[in-house]
Structure formats: structure tokens, C-alpha cells
Amino acid sequence: FEEYEYNIEKAKKILSDNGYPNGFEFDLVVSNRYSLDKIAQVIQSQLAKINVKVNIDLVEWGIFISKWRNSDFDAFVSLNSGSIDPDIQFYRTFHSGGSTNVFLYSNPIVDKLLQDGRTEIDVSKRIQIYNQLQKILVKESPILFLYSPNIIYAGQNYVEGFTPLANESLIFLRETWLNK
């Protein structure tokens, strides 16, 4: 995929060319969990350089979930992790009727690719479908993936059933046991 360059002047020009010569302002909903406020502060600082004012709305987890489920936000910061099968994450997030498509993204071509991807049994064809899908998602950018952390876990060989997740969540910890 083509990467975007860091270019403040180009970003200002894009804003100006699209009707925002003086920038704009928006609210960024952030949960008080997982140190997401620090990520929001970096976003705020970076966007200020192109005259985009970010109002950080730091809320407790229950309020965040309520706003998220009801699509009651301009933008939000969240942690996300994928899975081995792209259907699990992509379908629910990017399909027009997806259960976590809270930003109400809709693209009939994406919907068809998602449906094709989840029903195709030939692995090489699935790879082609999801590669095509990713190209569209990168171009349209309905969401922005800011970074992928390097997460390191350590444990003893008698710790079993532990499932590390990319978002550092320990929701599967109850399925972990010590075999000694």
C-alpha cells in the first residue's frame, strides 16, 4: 500500500481545497481505560498543526460504550485487535449491517467483497478478495489505524490456555490455568 507522507503544508492545502481553509473543530470521545487519553493528546497536538481543533471528551467506560453503540460521536479512540480469519473483524466492522459498524460506513462493493470472502472456501481466492477489500478500505479510510504496538508477554511453561490479544486485553484470562 502507498504510505501517506508527513507533510503539514500538503495537509493544509487538502483541507483548504475541500472547503476548510481555516481548519475545523470536532469532539474526540475517549475512554478513561488503557491510557487512551495519551493517544488522544497526541492526536490533538498533531492536528493542531493543521488548524484542526480536537476537543477531547474523556469519559468513563460505560458512557464510552453507550456513545459508541449509539453512534453518538464525531470521532473516537479505541483499541482493536484482529483475528486469524479476516472475516471476523472485517465483516462486523465494515459491512453496512455489521454489528460494530458504529460509524455507519456503507459501500456496496465492500459489502459484496465481504460476503464473497466469508463464503469462499478456496484460500487463494479468499486472499485475493481480502486484498482487494483492503485496497478500498485504505483508499476510503472509514477508520484510521494509528499504530500496532509491540506487546511482549512472558510466562512459565506450566501456564496454559493463555490467549494474548493485540489490544492488551486480558478477557480470556479466566481460561488460563497453571499446570503444575
Rounded to an integer, what distance in angstroms lies between the CA atom of residue 113 and that of residue 131?
Answer: 10
How confident is the model at residue 79, as a pLDDT? 79
Q: Where are the domains of the chain?
A: 1-79, 81-147, 154-180
pLDDT at 147: 77
Q: Which CATH superfamily groups domain 1-79?
A: Dipeptide-binding Protein; Domain 3 (3.10.105.10)
Q: What is the pLDDT of residue 174?
A: 85
* Closest to 61 measured CA to CA, from 37, 39, 38, 30: 30
- pLDDT computed for residue 167 by the predictor: 62
Query: What is the pLDDT at residue 146?
Result: 84
- Closest alpha carbon to 93 in 42, 57, 145, 54: 145
The C-alpha angle 11, 13, 18, rounded to 5 degrees, equals 100
Quote the DSSP letter at residue 173: G
Q: What is the pLDDT of residue 113?
A: 98
Below-50 pLDDT ranges, the chain: none
pLDDT, residue 168, reads 66
